[in-house]
Structure 1
Amino acid sequence: MTNETLEIDALKEKDGGGEAVQAVEELEPLGEKRIRLARQVGLVCMVTLAYVSLGAIITWPSPALSSLAENNATLVGTEVVFNSTQKDMTGSLAFVGTLLGAWLAGLAVNKLGRLISLQIIVVPYLVGWIVTALAPTTSVLLIGRFVVGLASGGTTIAGYAYVIELSDVNIRGMMATIPTMGVVLGSLYTVAFGYVLPWHYLSIVCALPPFLFLICTFFLPASPSFLVVRGRRQQAIAILTRLRGRYADVEAEVLELERRNAVNSGTKRSSWRDMLERDVLRRMGVVITLFVLMQLCGNFVLMSYTARILEATGASMDPDAITVIAGVLRVAGTLTAILVLDVIGRRYCLIISHAINACCLILLGAYVYLAEHADPTDDTYKNLTWVPTVCVTMSLFICDVGVHPVPFIVSSEYFPTSIRAQASSVCISTGTIATFLALQLYSVMQEALTQPGLYWFYGAVSVFGVVFSFVAVIETKGETVG
């Protein structure tokens, strides 16, 4: 037995808790650790291709509807004609599909596992895009949008659970934010190709990321946490050893997973019944509130209606330039989140993000109110048209640092493996409903509250978000998840 082995064993025996595990991991040579973590990042980047596919769904209506306005001929020789309601449905039907997909994934992920569920999700992605590309009528095209929405909902449940369970504790926040970057890049991917391709060929191009993801899934390991819960202990240990390295106390991690999920307890547990426990319900309440706050603070409205909002506030910018700027800022915000989530934590990212968003939107509301009530001869506000542009773009940037990614991350971190998929499906489904309502009620709320009043409402929600995050959100940075 080597001195190194004796030292490791001594550390394990000294303290069975987290401090001993951390001390053991500190023995790992830096070069070996970097290679191991790079391997984890590579695996997560493969999973992120599913989120690139998700991002493509979100922005497809924008270039596709512009293309249809110029040429509505289909690949089979018919014509597709949209009324105003059907145009709205190209976006909203995908979210209806997302809602159902999240619930179905909550069942499948717990029964079949994370990896098999991710492979199955590719089917509605490919079928949906092919149906959309070859659609002979408006109704068939809308069905295609609903089908890709099913895949979108499944991705959010299976993907985040898989990434959380794969990652080392000290880089879990960064790893869980990489999929968000995939959504942003997928959105830009669709917009970029949408400028040069007609809508049907654009749909075919959107089918490429899920096809590439399907190939990548055959190089991904099964979730070790799921294997432990299913009683496949030795297989889980083998995968964890490759992921955590030979210096980590893999046995302790497996024992903790078994304890938190009551593995080998001799009783058959119902994961849905487990969700009714008081602590689980409280955590679900926190996560659901974070999703609702994400939407009611204007985050998704600003993402979806950037051009409309800036035009309404008097900012004179080209819509194409606005789209590019918004996309670049979302990339920058997500990169910032990747860098800081494991440094300052999820809770403080939320607090800072909501606080700055509140300032931006309250200032935006004040500018619009003063500009609307200014004397017609007063040209002061004509020289300050940069104010709404700065407020909106800064809000888009800062929301991607905390408001947007953190609810998705904690929806997986807050719950043990045995109920993670079901609990996440409930939380994310609620978030999807909130997204749908926020977008559908935008014009109604603007009419009821006035334009500056709506921005003040969004700002007030973020003020509440600061207080709620400070009081109710449990920090999970560096904490193990069952």
Structure 2
Amino acid sequence: MSFRDDNDESRDLKKPFLHTGSWYRMSSRQSSIMSSSAQVLRDGSISVVLCVLIVALGPIQFGFTCGYSSPTQAEIISDLKLSISEFSIFGSLSNVGAMVGAITSGQIAEYIGRKGSLMIAAIPNIIGWLAISFAKDSSFLFMGRLLEGFGVGIISYTVPVYIAEIAPQNMRGSLGSVNQLSVTIGIMLAYLLGLFTNWRVLAVLGVLPCTILIPGLFFIPESPRWLAKMGMMEDFEASLQVLRGFDTDISVEVNEIKRAVASSSRRTTIRFADLKRKRYWYPLTIGIGLLVLQQLSGINGVLFYSSNIFASAGVASSDVATFGVGAIQVIATGVTTWLVDKTGRRLLLMVSSAGMTLSLLIVAVAFYVEGIVAKDSDLYGIMGILSLVGLVAFVIAFSLGIGAIPWVIMSEEHLLFTQL
């Protein structure tokens, strides 16, 4: 396979990202696919949306795991006689498990397929929730949280990739954003159900998303691109036909995918030395950098312990306020899902980053002023309200870009590297 000069390639990669939000230049064959998008939307979009809704149960499980620790903190500490430090370990162990799951997710998804990896991810999630619900001491609590995190780590990679591989190109951004929308729905459900149930019942309810996901996977097709990569050409074409509609001519897209798979199979494995080339390090740096910044933003600390934050700020119904934040996050992420293919990725990322910066600055100033004024003064109360407003604004700004778009870009990068 011949390559062009790295500078030319880097311009090809940068230009679509900066101006259209797409990660690769549209070829004449892809233009033909886009010209038939109306037919795909009419005949095949229902199948794709149904597939996305089924696999979205995985991110709902992800969100439920994130939100679980917030409404249950006081009860778990009281029932199991845990210290604050022990509960903090419990909350953070899901991230430890997720790191392990994320490291293994790529190989699992390549060897047994996207559906198979989601099956595997569901099992430790179910076992983990049951271990938490029947926990008598911290050991079962910690083990369950680790297992949940492991499953979530696999889900966090596999679902965005599966959605990107089955979605028509003109719907890829919106459908890709469903991943983060589902995460926020899972968080909101944990907050809502935590208002009415104790921590053990809430853990049992956490089993439901993956319990429904497992049978649901039997009713959706495997990723056509993965089937083509594995050489299962008949299954590949059948899967694509189901996704695009039985009355849709898929010959152009079939040839496009076959060329991409053949091109990737002719390439030798990318070595670390190759990462010095701009064609590789530029998109890789953007994708990884955005995901790192997403996690370093501090959003997990807010979501994991939002009830405690509101209680410390003097809100009487902290759990209700927490549910309100969860609902606001769902709405803001829904707006992103609607906008991402209309405005492009970069604009939303810029708006989101600026909003997060401003809101965190408001929170910092409010807490600083609170610390130097008398507690019985009017200014102290105003600063308390201002800090809560800043916190809610931070969640909204996060949801408008940094929350959803890094996952979309990660899945688009996966498609990009199959075409380089």
TM-score using structure 1 length: 0.74
Q: Which has the larger radius of gyration?
A: 1
Partner of 1:24: 36
C-alpha distance in 2 between matches for 1:297 and 1:208: 30
Quote how far apart the aligned CAs of 1:57 are: 1.2
C-alpha distance in 1 between matches for 2:209 and 2:271: 34
Partner of 1:470: none
C-alpha distance in 2 between matches for 1:268 and 1:22: 28
Quote how far apart the aligned CAs of 1:126 are: 1.4
Quote how far apart the aligned CAs of 1:244 are: 2.6
Quote how far apart the aligned CAs of 1:268 are: 7.5
Tell me, yes or no, if the aligned pair for 1:44 and 1:175 is still in contact at 8 Å: yes
Count the aligned residue pairs: 393
Which one has a larger percent helix, Structure 1 or Structure 2? 2
Partner of 2:124: 124
1:336-375 equivalences in 2 (<5 Å): 336-373=335-372
C-alpha distance in 1 between matches for 2:156 and 2:273: 22
Quote how far apart the aligned CAs of 1:329 are: 1.0
C-alpha spacing 1:371/1:206, structure 2 compared with 1 (3 Å)? closer
Partner of 2:395: 396
Amino acid at match of 2:84: S
Amino acid at match of 1:358: T
Further displaced range: 117-126 or 55-64: 55-64
TM-score using structure 2 length: 0.84
Tell me, yes or no, if the aligned pair for 1:52 and 1:182 is still in contact at 8 Å: yes
C-alpha spacing 1:383/1:195, structure 2 compared with 1 (3 Å)? closer
Tell me, yes or no, if the aligned pair for 2:90 and 2:142 is still in contact at 8 Å: yes
Amino acid at match of 1:406: I
Q: Share of identical aligned residues, percent?
A: 24
Partner of 1:201: 201
C-alpha spacing 1:58/1:385, structure 2 compared with 1 (3 Å)? closer
Q: SS where residue 82 of structure 1 aligns?
A: coil
Quote how far apart the aligned CAs of 1:21 are: 2.7
Matched, 1:158 2:134: no
Tell me, yes or no, if the aligned pair for 1:280 and 1:415 is still in contact at 8 Å: no
Partner of 1:146: 146
Unaligned runs of at least 5 residues, structure 1: 1-14, 73-79, 420-480
Quote how far apart the aligned CAs of 1:108 are: 0.7
C-alpha distance in 1 between matches for 2:245 and 2:176: 20
- CA deviations 1:110-162 (Å, max 9, x no partner) are 11111111112111111112222223432122111111111000101111111
Unaligned runs of at least 5 residues, structure 2: 1-26
- CA deviations 1:233-287 (Å, max 9, x no partner) are 232222222323467663333333344344585x584367798473233322112
Partner of 1:458: none
1:66-81 equivalences in 2 (<5 Å): 66-70=74-78, 72=79, 80-81=80-81
Q: SS where residue 281 of structure 1 aligns?
A: helix
Tell me, yes or no, if the aligned pair for 2:77 and 2:83 is still in contact at 8 Å: no
Further displaced range: 200-209 or 392-401: 200-209
C-alpha distance in 1 between matches for 2:252 and 2:58: 32
- CA deviations 1:318-344 (Å, max 9, x no partner) are 312320221111111111111101110
Further displaced range: 340-349 or 277-286: 277-286
Amino acid at match of 1:112: I
Amino acid at match of 2:412: E
**More contact order relative to length (CA 8 Å, sep ≥ 6):** 2
Amino acid at match of 2:29: G
Partner of 2:7: none
C-alpha spacing 1:377/1:390, structure 2 compared with 1 (3 Å)? closer
C-alpha spacing 1:169/1:317, structure 2 compared with 1 (3 Å)? farther
